[in-house]
Structure formats: C-alpha cells, structure tokens
Amino acid sequence: MDLATLLGIVGAFAVVIAAMLMGGSVLVFINAPSLFIVLGGTLMVVLIKFNVSQFTGAMKVAGKAFKSKLPAPESLIPVIVEMSTVARKEGVLALENIEIENPFLESGVRMLIDGSPVEDMRRHLSKDLEEMNERHKWGAQVFSSAGDVAPAMGMIGTLVGLVQMLSAMDDPKSIGPAMAVALLTTLYGAVLANMVFLPIADKLGLRRIEEMKLNSICLDGVLAIQEGQHPRTTEALLKLYVNPTRRDITDAADAAAEKPPQEQAA
C-alpha cells in the first residue's frame, strides 16, 4: 500500500470535514441531488469522451495509485548484473534457475533462454513497453478528464438549483432545498476534482514514468546479456538510469563489498 496516496486522500477529507464540524453539523453538507448531479453527470460525460474498455481499464489502473511503490531502479540493477554474470559463466540456459519477480524482465529472460535473435527481442520487448505505456497513459487521462468535468457539472448543478429557487420564490419552504442544491453541487465538484480525480491522475502519471524506467532498465539489461557484454559494462550502462546522487552511493557500496574483510575492518 502506498501510504502517501492513502494518507493524502484521507487527510484532505479529514481537514474539510473538520472545518465543517467547527461550523456546526456536517449533515447540512449532505445533499443527495447535488451528489447525483456531480458524480453521476461526471461519469456519464467521461463515458462520452472514452469507450467502455478505456473507462473500465482506467478503474483497474487506478489501483496502482494505492498499491505499493515500485522498486527503486538501483535495487533492480544488481539482479540483472547477477544474471549477466551467470549467463556469461554458465550460459543463458542457467537463467532458468533464477527466480524473477518483474514480469517484463521475466518475459525478456524467457526469450533469451529460447534463443531469440537480438533484433526480434528488441522489437518484441519495445512493442510490449510501448503498449504498456499507452494503457497507463489512457488510465491517467480518464481521471484527468473526470477532474476537468466535475467542476463543470458542479456549475450545472448550481444553475439547476438557482432556477428551482427563482421559480419557487412564492414558496419559502422550497427556497432552502433549492439553494442547497445550488451551493453544494459546486462544493462537490471542487472536492471530487481536486481531492480525488486530479491527484489520482497525477499519481498514475508518476507510476507510468517509474514503470517505464524500470522496464527500460530490464530491456537494456536483457539485450546486453544477449549481446554477451561484460557484467561490468552492463552495470555501468544501467546505472545511467539512476539519479547521480544515488549512483554514487551504489558505487560506494559496490566498492566496499569488493574489499577483502581485512581492509573493511581497517
């Protein structure tokens, strides 16, 4: 579970609800017609913009905003370097004995074991990477569109409430509910857009970038193994994906690990 996403959403709603409680009962901010206009209208308008498969796919991708964070690039590099060392010493068939958690890396290693040519591997994995990026991009775009539509639906609800209020000025009892619809739809639209839809869209965009980097590391690593590059060369190539500050830390850790025990104790 990504605590940043969970704490952010829960904390934002907690702040708003606390402010409501300070001014009185929170029940006055609950209005079913307003919520129906904003939430239902937003979902319907988003369906107009996208097809059903893109919409349902976005709901599945949204889970990535709450799942555990992806592993850091520097944690994946030693795994690939180890596979490069094994393949160089024992042959690529020995990679069958290595347990691989990353699905994209596993797919590339499987092609290695099957003896696929470099160009076939590059074309297949690059296409897989491109399609994965496209799916995640559409997921983020669906939530971004929902964030754009929700405030507009709030404004539409406000106009509906104002029309109801003005058409019933001779009935004082109906003015209050109509005014509630007018004001609360704007509130609901702003809350859903800025506290739910747009943050999830931004988090999915971040996840897409992180996953693209990890899979690019896997792609370059697998191709380097197939081309028979020295593990040191492969490691140097993959470390280019790592932030320079983290790269220095990783280099220092590698150097310390390579020292004899007597030198480390000194």
Q: pLDDT (tens digit, 9 = 90+) per residue, 139-190? A: 889 999 999 999 999 999 888 888 878 877 777 777 777 777 788 899 999 9
- Quickly count: other Cβ atoms within 10 Å of residue 48's Cβ: 8
Tell me the pLDDT tens digit for each residue of 65-100: 677 667 787 888 888 999 999 888 888 888 888 888
Which amino acid, 77? I
Average pLDDT over residues 250-260: 44
d(CA 52, CA 48): 9
Tell me the pLDDT tens digit for each residue of 222-240: 999 988 888 889 888 888 8
At residue 262 the predicted structure's pLDDT band, cuts being 50, 70 and 90, is: very low
Which amino acid, 58? A
Query: What size, in residues, is the chain?
Result: 266
The percentage of the chain sitting over the pLDDT mark of 70, rounded to a whole number, equals 90
Mean pLDDT of the chain: 83
* Helical (H) or strand (E) element with 133: helix 118-167
At residue 38 the predicted structure's pLDDT band, cuts being 50, 70 and 90, is: very high
Whole-model pTM?
0.78
Give the per-residue pLDDT at 246.
Answer: 64
Tokens describing residue 171: 């009935």
